[in-house]
Amino acid sequence: MNEKKTDSAPAAGERDSAKASGDTFETRRANKQTTERVRKFGEIFTPHAIVVQMCDALERESPEAFEISSTFLEPSCGDGIFVLEILRRKFARCQKRADYTTALASVYAMDIQADNVADTIANIKDFCLDYFKPTAAEAVLICDHVIQCDSLKIMRMLAREDLSHEIYCFPKSKDRLITGRDEF
């Protein structure tokens, strides 16, 4: 089950239908990045080779970093390239089907842009198909673990331990607004 190729996480965005239409992970990335988004949000997409180097460095420093149950938070996920590389490394350690669920449940991501959140969710679901078909509960878990919010505002508030202000996050699987301490 864990015989997946290890060359590149973006392959998840390159499933057969996407290949047929010429819509690849890298093409979507290039089309999304604009001067306005860079100026307004500081949005820069990290190249996959750099993501791999960073994860390799973490693994050398801390070999247990990518254990199935190790928790990761990607506070500015963009299209999910770090999340996909983290999951690729976690999935390589999975021995049984339940391990994949545990690995999914230990990864969280957020982004200020709704389209990035949607892309990350879609990329994770697509990536999972290379290993297993996500159950309905796993699909909900993915949506619940990738949220739209201003992570810098959250980090500043947590650093000050000033949770008197409401934190607004928009989970994809629910029709309710998470505020305050609901999730934090």
Asked if residue 4 is part of any domain, the answer here is: no
Asked if residue 107 is part of any domain, the answer here is: yes
Asked if residue 172 is part of any domain, the answer here is: no
Asked if residue 164 is part of any domain, the answer here is: no
**How confident is the model at residue 103, as a pLDDT?**
98
Asked if residue 116 is part of any domain, the answer here is: yes
Whether 1 has a pLDDT exceeding 50, the answer reads no
Segments in the chain forming alpha helices (H) = 16-21, 25-32, 35-41, 48-61, 81-91, 97-105, 114-128, 136-145, 151-160
The domain tally of the chain equals 1
Domain that holds residue 75: 9-149
What digits encode the pLDDT tens for the residues 64-92? 999 999 999 999 999 999 999 999 999 99
Asked if residue 162 is part of any domain, the answer here is: no
Of 6, 171, 169, 12, the C-alpha closest to 181 is 169
Asked if residue 121 is part of any domain, the answer here is: yes
Of 184, 103, 112, the C-alpha closest to 149 is 112
pTM exceeds 0.85, yes or no: no
Question: Which percentage of the chain shows pLDDT scores above 70?
Answer: 68
Across the range 99-109, mean pLDDT stands at 97
The mean-pLDDT minimum among 6-15, 22-31, 150-159 falls in 6-15
Asked if residue 43 is part of any domain, the answer here is: yes
